[in-house]
């Protein structure tokens, strides 16, 4: 049977996710941020293999956490000593399927972050750029002949820097933790002609070892989506595939003497329209995510919009 072949590096549409297993805690002057960086790890083509072979990719994500929130509402900026966390995420990686059942994926991030916080003597601006935490995952797609269902498992390694001066542990580029990653996906046609395809995916990130008195909360990101398989532009060299996405995330409170448990942990749902351009083995994908629901513990900085851009090539 011919393998089902979705567009590579596609962030699937109408994503669905879990809610946090945490309760609201009132903290009026907390140093806290709701990064939610794990959201960039779902809905990507590394979890949608269509046959044996490989794929290399580069990814750029951007998030500017400048809105202070408490519970489900906006809160005064004066309630949070942290004022702004602006981050550009650069990721390079590759996937290789040894056969129609087993494959591996490696991704290595590099972050450039600007952090503004009030340390009691006024608002200071601090910049830091460094490599982040590498992810190594395996993929099993042997449940069906068309590879439409897959299991993802692996580790996030503590390769990122978590000792930068003037940064709190929850704003460091690296977490210092080794995390177990476990997830899966399923996809299939919505229409007989396969013009529309649905997609469901989930990933659980569970820290199993930590350093320096800080253990990040476990996190779940999940998605449920639909996309149109594409319209060819005149000449047939490029295909355009519109995407609509709904993504939800949940993170438990951080723990440890260097953590801020009253000002960490959240749940969030995003709606994210996007588009993919494909030509031969090349794919270019981009989307913009807008929060439609947010709930944070204490006071935390959140981003009003998230951006993603991915360029990939199969081989």
CATH number of domain containing 75? 2.40.128.130
CA-to-CA distance for 77 and 27, rounded, in angstroms?
Answer: 13
Q: State residue 109's pLDDT score.
A: 96
Q: Which residues contact 120 (CB under 8 A, 6 or more apart)?
A: none
29 is a domain residue: no
11 is a domain residue: no
Residue range(s) defining the domain that contains residue 200? 37-314
b/e 173-197 (16+ beta carbons within 10 angstroms → b): bbbbbbbebebbbebeeeeeeeeeb
- Number of domains within the chain: 1
Q: Which residues contact 26 (CB under 8 A, 6 or more apart)?
A: 70, 298
* C-beta of residue 249 within 8 angstroms of C-beta of residue 267: yes
156 is a domain residue: yes
pTM of this structure: 0.85
Q: State residue 209's pLDDT score.
A: 97
Owner of token pair 């000002």: 263
31 is a domain residue: no
CA-to-CA distance for 287 and 61, rounded, in angstroms?
Answer: 10
277 is a domain residue: yes
Task: For the chain, give the percent of residues with pLDDT over 90.
Answer: 68
Sort strands 282-302 and 231-232 into parallel, antiparallel or unpaired. Answer: unpaired
Q: State residue 99's pLDDT score.
A: 93
How far from 252 is each of 10, 19, 189, 204, 297, CA to CA, in Å? Answer: 28, 10, 34, 12, 10
Q: State residue 16's pLDDT score.
A: 32
CA-to-CA distance for 313 and 291, rounded, in angstroms?
Answer: 30
280 is a domain residue: yes
Nearest to 302 by CA among 74, 42, 39, 18: 74
Q: State residue 33's pLDDT score.
A: 59
The low-confidence residues of the chain, meaning pLDDT below 50, are 1-31, 45-47
24 is a domain residue: no
6 is a domain residue: no
């Amino acid at each position: 049977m011919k393998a089902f072949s979705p567009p590579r590096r596609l962030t699937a549409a109408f994503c669905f996710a879990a809610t946090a297993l945490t309760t609201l805690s009132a903290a009026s002057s907390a140093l806290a941020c709701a990064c939610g960086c794990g959201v960039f790890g779902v809905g990507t083509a590394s979890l949608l293999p269509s046959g044996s072979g490989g794929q290399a990719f580069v990814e750029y994500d951007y998030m500017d956490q400048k809105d202070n929130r408490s519970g489900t509402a906006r809160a005064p900026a004066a309630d949070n000593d942290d004022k702004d966390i602006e981050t550009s995420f650069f990721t390079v990686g590759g996937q290789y399927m040894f056969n129609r059942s087993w494959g591996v994926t490696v991704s290595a991030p590099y972050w450039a972050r600007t952090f503004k916080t009030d340390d009691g003597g006024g608002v200071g601006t601090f910049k830091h750029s460094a490599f982040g935490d590498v992810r190594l995952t395996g993929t099993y797609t042997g449940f069906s002949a068309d590879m439409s269902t897959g299991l993802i498992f692996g580790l996030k390694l503590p390769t990122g820097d978590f000792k930068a001066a003037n940064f709190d542990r929850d704003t460091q580029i690296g977490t210092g933790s080794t995390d177990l990653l476990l997830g899966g996906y399923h996809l299939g046609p919505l229409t007989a002609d396969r013009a529309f395809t649905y997609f469901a995916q989930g990933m659980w990130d569970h820290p199993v070892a930590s350093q320096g008195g800080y253990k990040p909360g476990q996190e779940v990101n999940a998605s449920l989506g639909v996309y149109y398989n594409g319209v060819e532009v005149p000449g047939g060299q490029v295909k355009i595939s519109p995407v609509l996405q709904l993504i939800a995330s949940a993170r438990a409170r951080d723990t440890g003497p260097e953590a801020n448990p009253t000002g960490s942990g959240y749940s969030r749902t995003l709606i994210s329209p996007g588009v993919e351009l494909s030509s031969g083995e090349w794919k270019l994908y981009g989307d913009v995510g807008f929060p439609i629901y947010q709930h944070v513990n204490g006071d935390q900085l959140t981003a009003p919009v998230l951006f993603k851009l991915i360029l990939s090539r199969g081989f």
